[in-house]
Structure 1
Amino acid sequence: MTRLNWGMIGGGEGSQIGPAHRLGAQADGNFVLAAGALDVDAARGKAFAQKLGVAEDRAYGDWKEMLEGERDRPDRVDLVTVATPNNTHFEITKAFLEAGFNVLCEKPMTMTVEQGEEIVRVAEKSGKICAVNYCYSAYPMVREMRQMVRSGQVGRVRLVVANFSHGHHGDASDADNPRVRWRYDPGMAGVSGQFADCGIHAMHMASFIAGDEVRSLSADFASTISSRELEDDAMVNFRMEGGTVGRLWTSSVAIGRQHGFDIQVFGETGGLRWASEQPNQVYYTPVGGRTQIMEKGEGSLSDEAGRLSRVAIAHPEGFPLAVANIYVDLADAIKGETRDGLPLAVDGLRSMAAVYAAVASAQDNGAWVDARPPMFQ
């Protein structure tokens, strides 16, 4: 199998997300790390890239140098991952798309709705893939839930309840930690803190499983630690185009909760439940029947769940392999195969529109507002 050349921007030594991308991209032999601009400190980034096996002439000091260095190479990278701070995503993603590169961008894809719409247009014009790392949607059992909804096993979806809450930013004495502080700094994070950081994962998952898009929402934001400009807790009610009702709670001050991402789907004829801390299992309850525990690796699961499972039943496949599944779908898409589970620029745009709608609603005492991007209204 010919491996695709992969380049990474950001995600340097000590970063939170960098290792997951490096493990994920290379887990299945689809990609080889061929180029990188891994750190805001040029020398440190070059040294780390070479430590990872990148050739000296492809270990770049910054993303602009990488763009120029890769643009005309006959063996240039087939995919660029953007894993830099939020406020740089738009500029880098746009530049590489315009230069004809496929891009995987960390979320949020952009800082504004207008930027999101521009990325969608640029991606369409370039003919290249612009994917967004909503990796939780790539867990095998999440794909199983989606297939069950699609096949009508729970009937029409009436209600989705999503939650992404943790307590790791709940210590006020740690509020100035640089790894924490930027998430509540408008200059770095944008107009929203916790909802833009974690809540949009849960909202994307709701749409992904239900097969519907958010039309309107009502939000309540709170900054429970007074030094924070942006919210660290949010409650969002939403309505989908097809009539599904949604409830979403997201928090970073829920001390005692660790990762805390779970979702429940309630249909006319059954209900489903999945939690990221027990990702191998889905709880399925048919109306009038007993709750069943479905396990990753069972022979009766859908082809989609089986395709993205690597190890036998009862063996866990965690977060890095969920990221790896995004790269599996990307590799297939780059080679011309259709993978409709791959989160794309339009998903990143819808998330940013929801962020701005939630901010507007919270500022207006929870008023219901249109959550759709202008180009889809």
Structure 2
Amino acid sequence: MARLNWGMIGGGEGSQIGPAHRIGAGLDGHFTLAAGAFDVDPAKGVEFAGTLGVAEDRAYGDWRAMLEGETARDDRVDLVTVATPNATHYEITKAFLENGFNVLCEKPMTMTVAEAEDIVATARKSGRICAVNYGYSGYPMVRHMRAMVAGGELGRVRLIKAEFAHGFHANAADADNPRIRWRYDPQQIGPSAQFADCGIHALHMASFVSGQEAEELSADFVSCIASRTLEDDAMVSFRMSGGAVLRLWTSSVAVGRMHGLTLQVFGEKGGLSWEQEHPNQLYWTPVDGRTQIIERGAPDLSAAAQRASRVTIGHAEGMPLAFANIYADLAEVIMAEKESRSPDPAATHYPTALDGLRSMAAISAAVESANKSGNWTDARPPSFRG
């Protein structure tokens, strides 16, 4: 596969997410980091671009300059990653889509449902890819879970339990720390904090694996640290499109929990359990049978899991490798278009703007439900309602 040109907005020096994207995009040699606007401070962004090997004429001071500069080039970037603060995602993503660029946007895709509906429409009109970085769906064993469910090994899925709970914001003394404070600022993150930040990862994973989407929800939001305007703990129950029930807990004040992303799926014929902190192992328990450990890299895994496995069995994998699978999917789809061929079907399950829209609808519904003492609320995007 020929190398594709890649550009990045945000994710500069000191960024939490930037390095994972750069490792993921570069791992397979599909992408060359050709352009970027890495920092809100233009000078810092240009300087950092130089340390990454970006040519001086493609090290931009801001995203608008990058849009103008790349639009004018014959060798424009094939994919733009938007890794900026939440409040800027919509404007940047929409502008690049309208100018014919493929986009991978960090989550949440937008700040409002209306903006998300507009991004979906813009992507359709432009004919460009708009992916959303629900990167944990790139893990091989998560893809194997999906294949087992789709293959009927669990039978009808009855119950899903998802968690994304950590304790890194539990110290009230850190409430004014700028690296933490912005996550609870409605002007920067929108109407929800912890659910919008972490809970929608767990929701997307539940939908990705089960093949079911959220239809109704009941939410309970709590600000355990009183100075916070937005929630730092949430419990949300969902009624899913295929009849399953999803119980989701997300928290940033669960002292002792580290990353805390887990998924359990229970069906008529058996149950599955997976933890992001131990991603190589998938636990499978058939009805009336013993619990079995399915190891990543084993020769009898699904084709989807085999395609996503990058290191030999028994060796640890990590988040950047999961991100790399998303980038590998996008590279395959982009190259297939360039070569006028159909992409590998296994590469077409990357998270899209529709997933971003469904997440925004769930956030909006959860905020409404929490404000009404947990009333059951329609969780579907307006465009999906009858």
TM-score using structure 1 length: 0.99
CA distance in 2, matches of 1:274, 1:340: 23
CA distance in 2, matches of 1:370, 1:332: 36
* Counterpart residue number, 1:276: 276
Runs of 4+ in 1 over 3 A off after TM superposition: none
Secondary structure of 1:335's aligned partner: helix
Alignment of 1:99-118 (within 5 A): 99-118=99-118
Question: Is 1:365 matched with 2:373?
Answer: yes
Deviation digits for residues 199-226 of structure 1, max 9, x if unmatched? Answer: 0000011100000110000000000001
The residue matched to 1:25 in structure 2 has which SS? helix
- 1:241, distance to aligned residue in structure 2 (A): 1.1
Partner of 1:262: 262
CA distance in 2: counterparts of 1:335 and 1:358, whole angstroms: 39
Match of 1:30 in 2: 30
Is the counterpart of residue 14 in structure 1 residue 14 in structure 2?
yes
Provide the residue aligned with 1:376 in structure 2.
384
CA RMSD of the aligned region, Å? 0.6
Q: How many angstroms does 1:242 deviate by?
A: 1.2
Q: CA deviation at 1:50?
A: 1.0
Q: Which moved more, 1:325-334 or 1:89-98?
A: 325-334
CA distance in 1, matches of 2:348, 2:202: 19
Q: Identity of paired residues, percent?
A: 69
Q: Offset of 1:72 from its aligned partner?
A: 1.9
Query: 2:284, 2:54 → 1: CA distance?
Result: 46
Q: Secondary structure at the match of 1:272?
A: strand
> Which residue in 2 is equivalent to 1:120?
120
Per-residue CA deviations over 1:72-116 (Å, capped at 9, x if unaligned) read 201100000000000000000000000000000000000000000
Q: Secondary structure at the match of 1:159?
A: strand
Q: How many residues of Structure 1 are paired with residues of Structure 2 in the alignment?
A: 377
Asked whether the equivalents of residues 333 and 348 of structure 2 are also in contact (C-alpha less than 8 Å), the reply is: no
- 3-state SS of paired residue (1:33): strand
The corresponding residue for 1:188 is 188
Provide the rounded CA distance (Å) in 2 between the counterparts of 1:28 and 1:176: 40
Structure-2-length-normalised TM-score: 0.97
The Cα shift of 1:340 comes to 3.1
- d(CA) in 2 for partners of 1:175, 1:33: 36
**Contact persistence 2:215–2:239 (CA under 8 A):** yes
Aligned to 2:361: 353
Find out whether 1:178 has 2:196 as its counterpart. Answer: no
> Paired residue for 2:327?
327
Q: Deviations over 1:233-282 (max 9, x none)?
A: 00000001111101000000000000000010000000000000000110
CA distance in 1, matches of 2:217, 2:243: 13
Post-superposition shift, 1:230? 0.4
Which residue does 1:54 correspond to in 2? 54
Give the distance between the partners of 1:289 and 1:263, measured in 2 at CA: 20
Deviations 1:6-33 (A, max 9, x none): 0000000000000000000000000010
Give the secondary structure class of the aligned counterpart of 1:256. Answer: coil
1:317 counterpart letter in structure 2: E
The answer to whether residue 291 in structure 2 is matched with residue 291 in structure 1 is: yes
Equivalent AA in structure 2 for residue 241 of structure 1: S
SS at match of 2:306: helix
5 Å matches for 1:96-245? 96-245=96-245
User: Does residue 2 of the first structure (1) align with residue 2 of the second (2)?
Assistant: yes
Q: Deviations over 1:271-325 (max 9, x none)?
A: 0000000001100000010000000000010111010111100101100111111
| Matches of 2:215 and 2:381, distance apart in 1 | 9
